[in-house]
A and B are shown apart, each in its own frame.
Chain A
Amino acid sequence: MLKHILKEPSALRAPWEALVASLDDAGLTETLVEELAELEALKALPEGLHPVVEAYLDTLPGYREGDRSRAAEQHRLRWELWQGLAMVVDAADLAALGLSAEDPSDG
C-alpha cells in the first residue's frame, strides 16, 4: 500500500502493510480509518490483532524507549501519508520554497 506513495518502501511498508492487512481481514479498516490515526486506538483493537499491533508499535521511533509522544507523532505521520493527507517533499525544496518547519505546539 505504501509503495504507491513512499519512495522508501522498505522502511515502512512491511510493518504497516501487515497491520493494515490484518485490519482488512477483520473488516475494520473502513470503519476505523480515522480512529487509527491515534496510537491509543491501536491498543484497543481486538485481542487477536495484538501480536501484529505490537510488531508495528515496535517499529515506531521512540516506542521502545518509552517516548510515547514521539512514537504517537511518528505514527500520525505514517497514517497521514497512508491517507494521502501528507506529502513527501524533496529536502532541497525546504529552503528553495521557503517551507516552514512545524512548531511542536502547532495544532
Chain B
Amino acid sequence: MASAWLDEQQLAVLDAMHRAGCAPHDPRAIAFDGVRHRFRVAGDAPGSRNGWLILYADRIPSGAFGSWKTGRSETWSAQPWREASAAERRAWRRQWAEIQVRRAAEQRARHDRARARAAKLWERARPFVEARHPYLVAKQAPAVGLRQMKDRLVAPVRDLDGTLHSLAFIGPDGAKRFLKDGAVEGHCHVLGEPQGAKTLLLCEGYATGASLHRASGWPVVVGFNAGNLPPVAARLRRRYPDATLIVAGDDDPRTPGNPGKTYAEQAARAVSGSVVLPDFTGLDSGAAPTDFNDLHVLGGLPRIRAQLLAHRAAQSPMRLPPTSMAPARESGRSSAAPSVPATDFSPRAARSLAMANPRPRPTRRGDEGGGRGDGRRGRGGGASRNLYQEVTDRMIALIENGAAPWRRPWDRPRHPGVPALPFNAATGKPYQGINILLLLASGPGFADPRWCGYQQAQARGWQVAAGARGASVYFFKRLEIDADPDAEPPLDDDGRPLRRAIPLLRRHTVFHASQIEGIPTLEEAYGPTDAPLAHAWDRDAHLEALLRRSGARIVHGGVEAFYRPGTDSIHLPPRERFPASGGYYGVAFHELGHWTGHETRLNRPWCFDRHAPEYAREELRAELASAFLGAELGVHHDLDEHAAYLAMYLELLRQDNKEIFRAAKDAQGIADLLLDRHPEWRLEQGACVRRTEPLPGADSRARDDPDPPAVTPVAIPAPATDAPPPEPNPVAPVAPSSPPFSWVVAALDEARRPEADDSELGQLSRRIEAAFAGASRRAPAGAPAQPAADRLMPNG
C-alpha cells in the first residue's frame, strides 16, 4: 500500500521534473526522505550531477527540485496550492523556506571552498605574465592584473571590495573556464581605479576590457560573461552613484537572441546607464567581429577611443530617450537602454526617488562609501572580506594610475601649529601608518590635514555635506568572547568574568574638513597664516641643524647620492650641484631614511641586488619616509627619475597584501626617529638608544596605546604678536595630541649656536657649509658618474 502510494507520488514528481527539463537520468534518484539529493539530469553528460531535489513524505508530499546547470528550480506538491488548507499552506511554506536555507548554506559552503582554493592558486600563479603569450598577442592586449599558471592566463574574480572569489583561466587558444564552484555572479575584474572616476565602462571579456582601458584610459570593469553584466552593474551603481556607467556590450546578431547586446541593455536599463556597441562600419567583417577587442584588432585603438568619446558626449546628463533605441551615430552605435519610460534616470533623479521612499532607518547625509552606508545588502554567514587585500588593491590601482599618494606634490599648512599629516579634527589624534597613506590619497591636498568621522562631526554640531563621499581608514577593536560558552567563565579579582579579546580590523569612513559644514576654519582654530610658524623647517639653517643632529656621517662629493651600509655613511653631491637648497635637503633626508636602517638603529635588512624584492622593500620605505618627512619639513624629493621602482613596488604589493601596511609603519618609524618622535627610540651620537623619558612635550600614550585615555588637548601655539589671544571656541577642534614639534627647541638652539658643536662632525659640517655657502648651481650635464661599486643605496 505504502509502496504504491509512493510510486504514485514518484511518478507525479517525475512528470513535473520532466516538464521543468530536469528529470533524473535514473528515476530511482527520487526519494521522499527530506534529504537533498544530487543526480544526473537526463540528457546531461555521464558523471555530471547538475540536478537536485529534496522531497518530503508528509501528509501532503511536497518538495523542490531544480538544476544547477540551468538555474531553474521549482516547488512541487502532491496537492494543488489552491486546494490546500491554510495550515497546509503554512506547512508547505515552511518546508520551502527550509529548502531555500539549506540550498543557500550549501552554496555558501561550496563558494567558501572555492574561495580558499582560488586564494591558494592565485598565490601559486606567476605574477609575471609572458608578454608574448599567444592569447595576448592575438588580442593585442596587455596583461593588467593577470597572472599565469603554466600556459594559462589567470584573471582574478573579485568583488568590489577586492575580495578574491574565483579565478578565470584563459588558455593560449582563448579557451576560458572558471574555477569549479567559484562565485562569479556580481563579481568582476577591474582595470584601473574606479574610485572618483567620472566614467566607468563595463564589458564582458578580459581582452575587450583591456582594449577599452587602453583606448580610453577610463576604469573598466570586466564581468566575464553577458549574464553577469546586470548584477555587476547594479553593484557598481550602488558603489559609484555619481559615475556615468557605460556598458560596452558585445554585439552578435548571428547568435539567437544576441545575448551580449540583450544583457548589456538589461544592465544599463537597471542602473540608468547607457550601452555602446562596437561599430565595424568599413572594416573587414569577414571574421564576424562582435566586441571591442575585435574592433581594436581590426581598426586600432583610436577608433575605439573616438567611438567612446562620441558616445559619452551624446549622452544627456539628465534624460535618456524613451522606449526605443537611440539612432546609430556616425562615429559609433550607441543606445540608451530600451523600454525605459520617459523620465529622468540620472543618478541625481535616482537619489531623489530614494529620498521620496525613504528606508525606515535614518539615513546619513554623507556617503560612507562602503560598509553599512552604501546600500549593500548583508551576506550573513559569508566569509569576511579581506581588508588587507582591499587596501592593497587600492594602493596598486593608485600606483598603476600614476597616483601613488606619497608621490603627490605637497605643501604644508601655513597656519601655525597645524601638523602636516592627516589628523582627526575631533580628537586631535594624528592618523598612523597605512591610514596616513589612504588619507593622502583621498584628500584634496596638504593645505588642510583635518578629517573627521560622521558621528564625531555630529557630536560637535558640524554637519557632513550632503552627497559627500568619505575616505576609508582602518582601525582595530577587540571582540570579547567567552573561552567556553558552555561553562561558567572564570572571574577576575573583582568578580567580573574573564574573557578573551580577538582583534577585529574594521573600516571607518571619515570626511575631509572641506566636506564638513560648520567646522571652524584653520584660521579660526589655529590663527592667521602670517603668524610665525613654530616649525618653520623650510629655513635652511633649521634643516641643517636637524640633519646634523642625527649624527649621520655625511660625505660630499661625486654626482650621486647614496647610503653605504659598510661605512655607515651618507654620500651626497656637493650642494653646489643642486639647483636649490630644498633639493639638496630633499635628497639628504631621503638618504637619511636609508641610514636609519643600520643595525644600530632600526635594523632593517639590506640588499644590494637591485632586482631583489628586499631592495624594493627598502626603497619603498625610504620613499614613504621621504614623503612623511617632506610634508613636515617642507622639502621635496624629486622622484621622477625613479619611476622604474614603481613596477617593483607593484610586485611587492601583489605578492603580499600586508606589505604596504608594514612599509607605511616602517616609514613612519623612520620619520619619527629623525623628528625625535619615535615612541621607543631616540638618536644619540647617531645610534638608537631606547627612550626612557616620555616623548618631548607629548603624551606618547596617545599614539600607540591600544586603549588610549581621553586626549588632553594641547594648547595651540600662540602667535608671537601683540594681538590679544582669540576667544576660546567651544566647538573648535582640539589641537593634535602629537607633539607640535617640541623637539624644535633643541634643534633650533643648535641652529642658533652652530659653533657650540665642536665635534669632528660639527667642524666638518661647518667647513662644508662655508665652502658652499651661497652656491646653488645646477649640476653640470655629463658629469662623471660615480663608480658602480659606490652605488649601493642610490638616491631613489
A47 at the interface (CB under 8 A from B): no
- Give chain B interface residues in 568-621, CB to chain A under 8 Å: none
Contacts of A10 in B (CB 8 A): 484-486
A4:B505 contact, CB within 8 angstroms: no
Q: B664 → chain A, closest Cβ, in Å?
A: 6
A107–B484 CB distance below 8 A: no
> Which residues 76-97 in A have Cβ within 8 Å of B in the complex?
77-78, 80-91, 93-94, 96-97
Partner of A97, one of B381, B385, B658: B658
B481 adjacent to A11 (CB under 8 Å): yes
Residues of B within 8 A of A94 (CB): 476, 503, 706
Q: Which of A45-96 contact B (CB under 8 A)?
A: 59, 61, 65, 73-74, 77-78, 80-91, 93-94, 96
Identify A100's interface contact among B431, B484, B499, CB under 8 A: B431
Residues of chain A contacted by B384 (CB below 8 angstroms): 5, 81, 84-88
Smallest distance from the beta carbon of A64 to chain B beta carbons, Å? 9
- The CA of A60 and the CA of B708, in the complex, are separated in Å by 23
Option from A37, A90, A103 in Cβ contact (under 8 Å) with B427: A103
Question: Given the interface contacts A5-B382, A34-B378, A97-B433, does A86 sit within 8 Å of B505 by beta carbon?
Answer: yes
A103 touches B504 (CB 8 A): no
Within the assembled complex, what's the spacing in Å between the Cα atoms of A97 and B387? 13
Query: Is B456's CB under 8 angstroms from A85's CB?
Result: no
Contact B380 A33 (CB under 8 A): yes
Is B707 located at the chain interface by the 8 A CB criterion? yes
Tell me which residues across on chain A come within 8 A of B109, comparing CB atoms: 4
For residue B153, give the distance in angstroms from its CB to the closest CB of chain A.
29
Given A24-B97, A88-B384, CB of A97 within 8 Å of CB of B661 = yes
Question: Chain B residue with minimal CB distance to A78?
Answer: B479
Whether the pair B433, A100 counts as a contact (CB closer than 8 A) is: yes
A39 neighbours in B (Cβ, 8 Å): none
For A25, the chain B residues whose CB sits under 8 A away are: 94, 97
A101–B380 CB distance below 8 A? no
Contact present for A102 and B481 (CB under 8 Å): no
B371 at the binding interface (Cβ < 8 Å): yes
Q: Chain A residue with minimal CB distance to B707?
A: A101
Interface extent on B, as a size class?
A: 35 or more
When chains A and B are docked, how far (Å) is the Cα of A5 from the Cα of B112?
A: 10
Chain B's closest residue to A70 (CB) is B480
Residues of B within 8 A of A35 (CB): 360-361
Interface of B is mostly: mixed
Q: How large is the interface on A (under 10, 10 to 19, 20 to 34, 35 or more residues)?
A: 35 or more
| Interchain CA distance A34-B485 in the complex, whole Å | 26
Residues in B neighbouring A77, C-beta threshold 8 A: 477, 479, 504, 506
Could you tell me the distance in whole angstroms from the C-beta of B736 to the nearest C-beta in chain A?
Answer: 13
In the assembled complex, the CB of A101 is this many whole angstroms from the nearest CB of chain B, namely: 4
Chain A residues in 8 Å Cβ range of B383: 4-5, 84
The A1-44 residues at the B interface (CB cut-off 8 A) are 1-2, 4-6, 8, 10-12, 14-15, 20, 24-25, 27, 29-30, 33-35, 37
Partner of B381 from the list A4, A11, A90, A106 (CB cut-off 8 Å) is: A4
B502 at the interface (CB under 8 A from A): yes
- Inside 8 A of A100's CB, which chain B residues have their CB? 431-433, 435, 474-476
Whether B508 lies near A102 (C-beta < 8 A) is yes
B505 in complex: contacting residue of A8, A33, A99, CB < 8 Å: A99
Give the chain B neighbours of A4 by CB distance below 8 A. 108-109, 112, 381-383
Chain B residues, Cβ within 8 Å of A99? 433-434, 474-476, 503, 505, 661
Determine the distance from Cα of A91 to Cα of B109 in the docked complex, in whole angstroms.
Answer: 27
| Chain A residues within 8 Å of B795, by CB | none
Chain B residue at smallest Cβ distance from A41? B361
| Docked pose: A73 CA to B501 CA in angstroms | 13
Residues of A within 8 A of B499 (CB): 61
Q: Are A101 and B112 in contact (CB under 8 A)?
A: no
B596 to chain A: closest CB distance in Å? 16
Say yes or no: B372 contacts A37, CB within 8 Å: yes
Interface status of B324 (Cβ within 8 A of chain A): no
Chain A min CB distance to B710 (Å): 8
A77-B499 Cα distance, complex, nearest whole Å: 15
Report the minimum CB–CB distance from B699 to chain A (whole Å): 14
Instruction: Assess whether A85 is in contact with B385, with CB atoms less than 8 Å apart.
Output: yes
Nearest Cβ on chain B to A55's Cβ, whole angstroms: 11
Bound CA–CA A61/B496 (angstroms): 10
Q: Is the CB of A101 within 8 A of B485?
A: no
Q: Are B508 and A33 closer than 8 Å at their CB atoms?
A: no
CB distance from A46 to the nearest CB of B (A): 16
Residues of A within 8 A of B474 (CB): 99-100
Does B476 lie within 8 Å of A89, measured CB to CB?
yes
Q: Are A107 and B378 in contact (CB under 8 A)?
A: no
The interface centre, meaning the residue of B383, B384, B432, B486 with most chain A CB atoms within 10 A of its CB, is B384
Q: Is the CB of A82 within 8 A of B381?
A: yes
CB-based contact A105/B385 at 8 Å: no
Q: Which chain B residues border A65 with CB–CB below 8 Å? A: 496
Name the A residues within 8 Å of B665 (CB-CB): 96-98
**B94 cross-chain contacts in A, Cβ below 8 A:** 25
What residues of chain B lie closer than 8 Å to A107, measured between beta carbons?
A: 453-456, 508
Q: Is B424 an interface residue (CB 8 A)?
A: yes
Within B613-665, the residues touching A (CB, 8 Å) are 658, 661-662, 664-665
Q: Separation in Å of the B378 CB from the closest CB of chain A?
A: 4
Interface status of B198 (Cβ within 8 A of chain A): no
The CA-CA distance from A55 to B728 in the complex, in Å, is 50
Contacts of A1 in B (CB 8 A): 380-381
Q: In the complex the two chains form, what is the Cα distance from A6 to B386 in whole Å?
A: 13
**Cα distance, A19 to B457, chains bound together (Å):** 34
The CA of A34 and the CA of B361, in the complex, are separated in Å by 9
Measured in the bound complex, the distance between the Cα atoms of B489 and A59 in whole Å is: 11
B370's closest neighbor in chain A, by CB?
Answer: A85
* CA of A74 to CA of B101, assembled, Å: 27
Specify which chain A residues have a CB less than 8 angstroms from the CB of B505 in the assembled complex. 86-89, 99
Bound Cα distance from A12 to B480, whole angstroms: 10
Residues of A within 8 A of B387 (CB): 87
With A5-B382, A5-B383, A10-B485 as contacts: A98 and B661 at CB distance below 8 Å: yes
CB <8 Å contact, B386 and A87? yes
Complex Cα–Cα for A80 and B376 (A): 13
Check A82/B380 contact, CB under 8 A, given A34-B372, A98-B432, A99-B433. Answer: yes
Contact pattern, B 707-740, Cβ under 8 Å of A = 1, otherwise 0: 1100000000000000000000000000000000
For B502, give its contact among A80, A88, A105 (CB under 8 Å). A88
CB distance from B633 to the nearest CB of A (A): 21
A83 contacts B502, CB within 8 Å?
no
Choice from B360, B475, B661 contacting A102 with Cβ under 8 Å: B475
Given contacts A84-B384, A98-B433, A100-B435, 14 further A-B contacts (CB under 8 A): A1-B380, A11-B500, A20-B381, A24-B101, A30-B377, A85-B384, A85-B506, A87-B384, A87-B385, A87-B388, A96-B665, A97-B434, A99-B434, A103-B427
23 A/B residue pairs, CB under 8 Å, sorted by A: A4-B381, A5-B382, A11-B482, A12-B481, A20-B381, A25-B97, A33-B378, A59-B485, A77-B506, A78-B479, A81-B504, A83-B379, A83-B380, A84-B382, A86-B384, A87-B388, A87-B506, A88-B384, A89-B503, A91-B503, A97-B665, A98-B432, A100-B433
Closest 10 CB pairs of A and B: A98-B665, A1-B381, A98-B433, A107-B455, A11-B481, A102-B475, A97-B661, A33-B378, A101-B706, A86-B504
